[in-house]
Amino acid sequence: MEHRTLGSSELNVSSFGLGTMTFGAEADEATSHAILNRFAEAGGTFIDTADVYSHGASEEIIGSWLGTRGGTEELTIATKARFPMSDDPADAGASRQYLERAVDASLGRLGVDVIDLYQIHAWDPATPLAETLATLTDLVAAGKIRHAGVSNFTAWQLQRAVDMARYVDWTPIVSLQPKYSLLSRDIELELLPMCLEENVGVIPWSPLGGGWLTGKYTPDERPTGSTRLGENPARGIEAYDLRNTDRTWAILEVVRAVAGARDVSMSQVALNWVRARPGVCSVLLGARTVDQLDDNLAALSWELTENERSALSEVSAPGIPIYPHGFMETYAGMTVWEDLMTRVEPPAIGR
Protein backbone atom coordinates (compact mmCIF):
# COMPACT_ATOMS: atom_id res chain seq x y z
CA MET A 1 0.00 0.00 0.00
CA GLU A 2 1.19 3.54 -0.70
CA HIS A 3 2.30 5.54 2.35
CA ARG A 4 2.30 9.29 2.91
CA THR A 5 3.79 11.62 5.48
CA LEU A 6 1.14 13.03 7.82
CA GLY A 7 1.30 16.82 7.57
CA SER A 8 4.31 18.35 9.32
CA SER A 9 4.88 15.23 11.46
CA GLU A 10 7.31 12.42 10.71
CA LEU A 11 4.45 9.89 10.96
CA ASN A 12 4.04 7.55 8.02
CA VAL A 13 0.42 6.69 7.27
CA SER A 14 -1.00 4.26 4.72
CA SER A 15 -3.12 5.99 2.07
CA PHE A 16 -6.07 3.97 3.42
CA GLY A 17 -6.37 4.04 7.19
CA LEU A 18 -8.62 1.70 9.14
CA GLY A 19 -11.56 3.40 10.84
CA THR A 20 -12.78 1.37 13.79
CA MET A 21 -16.10 2.97 14.70
CA THR A 22 -17.87 -0.33 13.94
CA PHE A 23 -15.73 -2.25 16.46
CA GLY A 24 -17.77 -3.31 19.48
CA ALA A 25 -20.94 -2.12 17.65
CA GLU A 26 -21.75 -3.66 14.23
CA ALA A 27 -18.56 -5.80 14.38
CA ASP A 28 -17.90 -8.04 17.40
CA GLU A 29 -14.36 -8.71 18.68
CA ALA A 30 -13.72 -11.72 16.41
CA THR A 31 -14.88 -9.88 13.28
CA SER A 32 -12.95 -6.77 14.30
CA HIS A 33 -9.75 -8.82 14.72
CA ALA A 34 -10.33 -10.42 11.30
CA ILE A 35 -10.75 -6.91 9.80
CA LEU A 36 -7.55 -5.73 11.52
CA ASN A 37 -5.63 -8.81 10.27
CA ARG A 38 -6.84 -8.30 6.72
CA PHE A 39 -5.94 -4.61 6.79
CA ALA A 40 -2.42 -5.33 8.10
CA GLU A 41 -1.91 -8.13 5.51
CA ALA A 42 -2.73 -5.60 2.78
CA GLY A 43 0.04 -3.31 4.07
CA GLY A 44 -2.20 -0.93 6.03
CA THR A 45 -0.41 0.71 8.94
CA PHE A 46 -2.68 3.54 10.10
CA ILE A 47 -5.48 2.72 12.57
CA ASP A 48 -7.93 5.35 13.86
CA THR A 49 -10.16 5.00 16.90
CA ALA A 50 -11.70 7.20 19.64
CA ASP A 51 -12.44 6.72 23.32
CA VAL A 52 -16.11 7.30 22.61
CA TYR A 53 -16.48 4.51 19.99
CA SER A 54 -18.64 1.89 21.72
CA HIS A 55 -17.71 3.55 24.97
CA GLY A 56 -14.07 2.39 24.99
CA ALA A 57 -14.74 -1.05 23.45
CA SER A 58 -13.16 -0.09 20.09
CA GLU A 59 -9.90 0.87 21.85
CA GLU A 60 -10.02 -2.32 23.94
CA ILE A 61 -10.53 -4.51 20.86
CA ILE A 62 -7.55 -2.86 19.15
CA GLY A 63 -5.57 -3.36 22.38
CA SER A 64 -6.36 -7.08 22.51
CA TRP A 65 -5.39 -7.43 18.84
CA LEU A 66 -2.10 -5.58 19.44
CA GLY A 67 -1.50 -8.04 22.28
CA THR A 68 -1.87 -11.00 19.91
CA ARG A 69 0.72 -9.55 17.51
CA GLY A 70 3.16 -8.41 20.21
CA GLY A 71 2.95 -4.62 19.89
CA THR A 72 2.60 -1.67 17.59
CA GLU A 73 5.74 -2.03 15.47
CA GLU A 74 5.18 -0.61 11.97
CA LEU A 75 1.75 0.72 13.00
CA THR A 76 0.56 4.27 13.57
CA ILE A 77 -2.24 4.39 16.14
CA ALA A 78 -4.55 7.40 16.43
CA THR A 79 -7.27 8.03 18.97
CA LYS A 80 -9.40 10.97 20.12
CA ALA A 81 -11.02 12.53 23.17
CA ARG A 82 -13.56 15.28 23.78
CA PHE A 83 -17.04 13.76 23.53
CA PRO A 84 -18.77 12.61 26.77
CA MET A 85 -17.68 9.30 28.25
CA SER A 86 -20.37 9.43 30.97
CA ASP A 87 -23.23 11.60 32.22
CA ASP A 88 -20.79 13.46 34.45
CA PRO A 89 -20.02 16.80 32.71
CA ALA A 90 -16.40 16.45 33.93
CA ASP A 91 -16.03 13.37 31.69
CA ALA A 92 -15.83 15.35 28.45
CA GLY A 93 -14.15 18.32 26.81
CA ALA A 94 -10.63 19.45 26.03
CA SER A 95 -9.59 20.87 29.43
CA ARG A 96 -6.29 19.93 31.07
CA GLN A 97 -8.07 18.15 33.89
CA TYR A 98 -10.05 15.95 31.50
CA LEU A 99 -7.42 15.31 28.81
CA GLU A 100 -4.88 14.12 31.40
CA ARG A 101 -7.38 11.51 32.59
CA ALA A 102 -8.63 10.65 29.12
CA VAL A 103 -5.18 9.99 27.68
CA ASP A 104 -4.31 7.62 30.54
CA ALA A 105 -7.60 5.78 30.02
CA SER A 106 -6.93 5.42 26.27
CA LEU A 107 -3.35 4.24 26.86
CA GLY A 108 -4.72 1.61 29.26
CA ARG A 109 -7.45 0.36 26.89
CA LEU A 110 -5.05 0.24 23.92
CA GLY A 111 -2.31 -1.36 26.04
CA VAL A 112 0.38 0.91 24.60
CA ASP A 113 2.98 3.23 26.16
CA VAL A 114 2.48 6.05 23.68
CA ILE A 115 -0.26 7.17 21.27
CA ASP A 116 1.13 8.23 17.87
CA LEU A 117 -1.62 10.75 17.09
CA TYR A 118 -3.90 12.18 19.78
CA GLN A 119 -6.82 14.14 18.32
CA ILE A 120 -9.22 16.63 19.88
CA HIS A 121 -12.49 15.17 18.54
CA ALA A 122 -14.19 18.59 18.17
CA TRP A 123 -13.78 22.21 19.29
CA ASP A 124 -14.55 22.72 22.98
CA PRO A 125 -16.12 26.15 23.52
CA ALA A 126 -15.84 25.76 27.30
CA THR A 127 -12.04 25.49 27.37
CA PRO A 128 -9.54 28.19 26.36
CA LEU A 129 -7.62 26.92 23.34
CA ALA A 130 -4.32 27.82 25.06
CA GLU A 131 -5.12 25.38 27.87
CA THR A 132 -5.73 22.56 25.40
CA LEU A 133 -2.55 23.27 23.42
CA ALA A 134 -0.40 23.56 26.55
CA THR A 135 -1.80 20.24 27.79
CA LEU A 136 -1.09 18.50 24.48
CA THR A 137 2.47 19.89 24.59
CA ASP A 138 2.95 18.51 28.12
CA LEU A 139 1.57 15.11 27.03
CA VAL A 140 4.19 15.01 24.26
CA ALA A 141 6.91 15.95 26.76
CA ALA A 142 5.68 13.21 29.12
CA GLY A 143 6.03 10.65 26.30
CA LYS A 144 2.31 9.78 26.34
CA ILE A 145 1.54 11.05 22.83
CA ARG A 146 3.78 11.70 19.84
CA HIS A 147 1.68 14.22 17.90
CA ALA A 148 -1.51 16.25 18.23
CA GLY A 149 -4.32 16.63 15.71
CA VAL A 150 -7.91 17.86 15.63
CA SER A 151 -11.21 16.78 14.11
CA ASN A 152 -14.38 18.63 13.15
CA PHE A 153 -12.87 22.12 13.55
CA THR A 154 -13.93 25.08 11.40
CA ALA A 155 -11.20 26.86 9.43
CA TRP A 156 -10.90 29.80 11.84
CA GLN A 157 -10.62 27.42 14.80
CA LEU A 158 -7.93 25.36 13.10
CA GLN A 159 -5.99 28.39 11.89
CA ARG A 160 -6.08 29.84 15.39
CA ALA A 161 -4.74 26.58 16.85
CA VAL A 162 -2.00 26.33 14.21
CA ASP A 163 -0.92 29.95 14.76
CA MET A 164 -1.06 29.84 18.56
CA ALA A 165 1.03 26.67 18.66
CA ARG A 166 3.53 28.20 16.24
CA TYR A 167 4.02 31.49 18.07
CA VAL A 168 4.13 30.05 21.59
CA ASP A 169 6.22 27.08 20.46
CA TRP A 170 3.68 24.51 21.56
CA THR A 171 3.34 21.14 19.87
CA PRO A 172 1.99 21.74 16.33
CA ILE A 173 -1.39 20.57 15.10
CA VAL A 174 -0.27 18.11 12.42
CA SER A 175 -3.64 16.82 11.17
CA LEU A 176 -7.31 17.50 10.63
CA GLN A 177 -9.89 14.71 10.53
CA PRO A 178 -12.92 16.09 8.62
CA LYS A 179 -15.99 14.60 6.96
CA TYR A 180 -15.11 14.42 3.25
CA SER A 181 -16.56 12.53 0.31
CA LEU A 182 -18.19 13.10 -3.08
CA LEU A 183 -21.38 13.85 -1.13
CA SER A 184 -19.72 16.21 1.37
CA ARG A 185 -17.25 18.64 -0.15
CA ASP A 186 -17.81 21.62 2.17
CA ILE A 187 -14.21 21.46 3.47
CA GLU A 188 -12.92 22.48 0.05
CA LEU A 189 -14.08 26.08 0.53
CA GLU A 190 -11.95 26.95 3.57
CA LEU A 191 -10.50 24.01 5.48
CA LEU A 192 -8.74 22.14 2.69
CA PRO A 193 -6.94 25.18 1.22
CA MET A 194 -5.93 26.12 4.76
CA CYS A 195 -4.53 22.63 5.39
CA LEU A 196 -2.56 22.75 2.14
CA GLU A 197 -1.16 26.15 3.01
CA GLU A 198 -0.15 25.10 6.55
CA ASN A 199 0.86 21.50 5.78
CA VAL A 200 -1.80 20.04 8.05
CA GLY A 201 -2.44 16.42 6.99
CA VAL A 202 -6.05 15.62 6.06
CA ILE A 203 -7.63 12.35 7.21
CA PRO A 204 -11.15 12.14 5.69
CA TRP A 205 -13.88 10.34 7.63
CA SER A 206 -17.03 8.81 6.08
CA PRO A 207 -15.54 8.67 2.57
CA LEU A 208 -18.56 6.60 1.49
CA GLY A 209 -21.03 8.95 3.18
CA GLY A 210 -21.73 6.23 5.74
CA GLY A 211 -22.57 3.71 2.98
CA TRP A 212 -24.52 5.94 0.59
CA LEU A 213 -21.81 5.91 -2.09
CA THR A 214 -21.87 2.10 -2.29
CA GLY A 215 -25.18 2.50 -4.15
CA LYS A 216 -27.16 0.42 -1.65
CA TYR A 217 -29.86 3.10 -1.22
CA THR A 218 -32.26 4.17 -4.00
CA PRO A 219 -34.83 6.97 -4.47
CA ASP A 220 -37.73 4.50 -4.35
CA GLU A 221 -36.97 2.42 -1.30
CA ARG A 222 -36.15 3.39 2.22
CA PRO A 223 -33.20 1.39 3.58
CA THR A 224 -34.02 -2.05 4.90
CA GLY A 225 -31.99 -4.96 6.26
CA SER A 226 -28.73 -5.07 8.10
CA THR A 227 -27.11 -1.79 7.07
CA ARG A 228 -26.33 1.30 9.09
CA LEU A 229 -29.36 3.15 7.75
CA GLY A 230 -31.51 0.03 7.58
CA GLU A 231 -31.12 -0.21 11.32
CA ASN A 232 -31.74 3.51 11.83
CA PRO A 233 -32.90 5.52 8.78
CA ALA A 234 -32.85 8.70 10.91
CA ARG A 235 -29.19 8.22 11.89
CA GLY A 236 -27.57 11.65 12.29
CA ILE A 237 -26.03 13.39 9.31
CA GLU A 238 -26.39 10.32 7.08
CA ALA A 239 -30.17 10.20 7.64
CA TYR A 240 -32.10 8.91 4.64
CA ASP A 241 -34.47 11.92 4.50
CA LEU A 242 -31.57 14.38 4.68
CA ARG A 243 -29.67 12.77 1.80
CA ASN A 244 -32.72 11.89 -0.35
CA THR A 245 -32.09 14.78 -2.80
CA ASP A 246 -31.65 15.24 -6.56
CA ARG A 247 -28.00 16.12 -5.94
CA THR A 248 -27.33 12.80 -4.17
CA TRP A 249 -28.97 10.73 -6.91
CA ALA A 250 -27.14 12.68 -9.66
CA ILE A 251 -23.80 11.99 -7.98
CA LEU A 252 -24.65 8.32 -7.49
CA GLU A 253 -25.58 8.03 -11.16
CA VAL A 254 -22.11 9.17 -12.26
CA VAL A 255 -20.40 6.95 -9.67
CA ARG A 256 -22.51 4.01 -10.95
CA ALA A 257 -21.62 4.76 -14.60
CA VAL A 258 -17.87 4.94 -13.89
CA ALA A 259 -18.03 1.73 -11.84
CA GLY A 260 -20.08 -0.08 -14.51
CA ALA A 261 -17.72 0.85 -17.33
CA ARG A 262 -14.73 -0.43 -15.34
CA ASP A 263 -16.49 -3.40 -13.74
CA VAL A 264 -15.50 -2.31 -10.24
CA SER A 265 -17.71 -1.49 -7.25
CA MET A 266 -19.14 1.97 -6.66
CA SER A 267 -17.32 2.06 -3.30
CA GLN A 268 -13.96 1.76 -5.05
CA VAL A 269 -14.81 4.66 -7.38
CA ALA A 270 -15.82 6.92 -4.48
CA LEU A 271 -12.76 5.96 -2.42
CA ASN A 272 -10.32 6.55 -5.27
CA TRP A 273 -11.77 10.00 -5.86
CA VAL A 274 -11.11 11.03 -2.22
CA ARG A 275 -7.71 9.31 -2.09
CA ALA A 276 -6.44 11.46 -4.98
CA ARG A 277 -7.63 14.83 -3.64
CA PRO A 278 -4.90 17.37 -2.76
CA GLY A 279 -3.86 17.38 0.89
CA VAL A 280 -5.42 13.99 1.68
CA CYS A 281 -2.96 11.79 3.58
CA SER A 282 -5.04 8.79 4.66
CA VAL A 283 -8.69 7.96 3.87
CA LEU A 284 -10.42 6.16 6.73
CA LEU A 285 -12.14 2.95 5.62
CA GLY A 286 -15.19 1.93 7.63
CA ALA A 287 -16.34 -1.68 7.36
CA ARG A 288 -18.63 -4.01 9.26
CA THR A 289 -17.29 -7.17 7.52
CA VAL A 290 -14.05 -8.48 6.02
CA ASP A 291 -15.81 -8.70 2.63
CA GLN A 292 -16.60 -4.98 2.68
CA LEU A 293 -12.98 -4.23 3.60
CA ASP A 294 -11.72 -6.47 0.77
CA ASP A 295 -13.94 -4.68 -1.72
CA ASN A 296 -12.66 -1.29 -0.53
CA LEU A 297 -8.99 -2.34 -0.51
CA ALA A 298 -9.33 -3.43 -4.15
CA ALA A 299 -9.46 0.31 -4.99
CA LEU A 300 -5.68 0.25 -4.49
CA SER A 301 -5.20 -1.77 -7.66
CA TRP A 302 -6.37 0.96 -10.06
CA GLU A 303 -6.72 4.74 -10.43
CA LEU A 304 -9.33 7.03 -11.97
CA THR A 305 -8.51 8.58 -15.34
CA GLU A 306 -8.54 12.35 -15.67
CA ASN A 307 -11.89 12.16 -17.51
CA GLU A 308 -13.49 10.01 -14.82
CA ARG A 309 -12.15 12.30 -12.11
CA SER A 310 -13.52 15.41 -13.86
CA ALA A 311 -16.96 13.85 -14.36
CA LEU A 312 -17.15 12.96 -10.65
CA SER A 313 -15.83 16.36 -9.53
CA GLU A 314 -18.21 18.23 -11.81
CA VAL A 315 -21.40 16.51 -10.69
CA SER A 316 -20.45 16.86 -7.01
CA ALA A 317 -19.04 20.43 -7.09
CA PRO A 318 -19.84 22.26 -3.85
CA GLY A 319 -22.10 25.32 -4.00
CA ILE A 320 -20.08 28.51 -3.78
CA PRO A 321 -21.24 31.02 -1.11
CA ILE A 322 -22.35 34.30 -2.72
CA TYR A 323 -19.86 36.27 -0.62
CA PRO A 324 -16.88 36.44 -0.63
CA HIS A 325 -16.35 33.37 -2.84
CA GLY A 326 -18.95 34.34 -5.49
CA PHE A 327 -17.84 37.98 -5.42
CA MET A 328 -14.22 36.98 -6.05
CA GLU A 329 -15.30 34.73 -8.90
CA THR A 330 -17.32 37.51 -10.56
CA TYR A 331 -15.07 40.51 -9.96
CA ALA A 332 -11.57 39.03 -9.57
CA GLY A 333 -11.92 36.20 -12.09
CA MET A 334 -10.79 33.80 -9.40
CA THR A 335 -12.24 30.43 -8.47
CA VAL A 336 -11.25 30.78 -4.86
CA TRP A 337 -11.22 27.17 -3.74
CA GLU A 338 -9.87 25.66 -6.95
CA ASP A 339 -7.02 28.17 -7.20
CA LEU A 340 -5.97 27.60 -3.64
CA MET A 341 -6.21 23.83 -3.90
CA THR A 342 -4.19 23.46 -7.05
CA ARG A 343 -1.31 25.81 -6.36
CA VAL A 344 0.22 23.70 -3.58
CA GLU A 345 2.04 20.41 -4.14
CA PRO A 346 0.33 17.25 -2.87
CA PRO A 347 1.79 15.74 0.33
CA ALA A 348 5.23 14.14 0.15
CA ILE A 349 5.22 10.40 -0.40
CA GLY A 350 6.89 8.48 2.38
CA ARG A 351 8.28 4.99 2.15
Ligand X SMILES: NC(=O)c1ccc[n+]([C@@H]2O[C@H](COP(=O)([O-])OP(=O)(O)OC[C@H]3O[C@@H](n4cnc5c(N)ncnc54)[C@H](OP(=O)(O)O)[C@@H]3O)[C@@H](O)[C@H]2O)c1
Please list the active-site residues. 53
**What's the min distance (Å) between Cβ of 18 and ligand X?**
8
Contact criterion met (CB below 8 Å) for 190 and 225 = no
Q: Whose Cβ is closer to ligand X: residue 236's or residue 333's? A: 236
**What's the min distance (Å) between Cβ of 265 and ligand X?**
6
Q: Whose Cβ is closer to ligand X: residue 279's or residue 286's? A: 286
Taking the C-alpha atoms of residue 74 and residue 277, their distance in angstroms, rounded to an integer, is 25
Residues binding ligand X (CB under 6 A): 19-22, 26, 48, 151-152, 177, 205-211, 214, 216, 227-228, 265, 267, 284, 286-288, 292, 295-296
Taking the C-alpha atoms of residue 194 and residue 202, their distance in angstroms, rounded to an integer, is 11
Q: Whose Cβ is closer to ligand X: residue 79's or residue 325's? A: 79
Q: Whose Cβ is closer to ligand X: residue 135's or residue 152's? A: 152
Q: Whose Cβ is closer to ligand X: residue 15's or residue 152's? A: 152
**What's the min distance (Å) between Cβ of 338 and ligand X?**
25
Taking the C-alpha atoms of residue 147 and residue 263, their distance in angstroms, rounded to an integer, is 41
**What's the min distance (Å) between Cβ of 313 and ligand X?**
19
**What's the min distance (Å) between Cβ of 288 and ligand X?**
5
Taking the C-alpha atoms of residue 231 and residue 233, their distance in angstroms, rounded to an integer, is 7
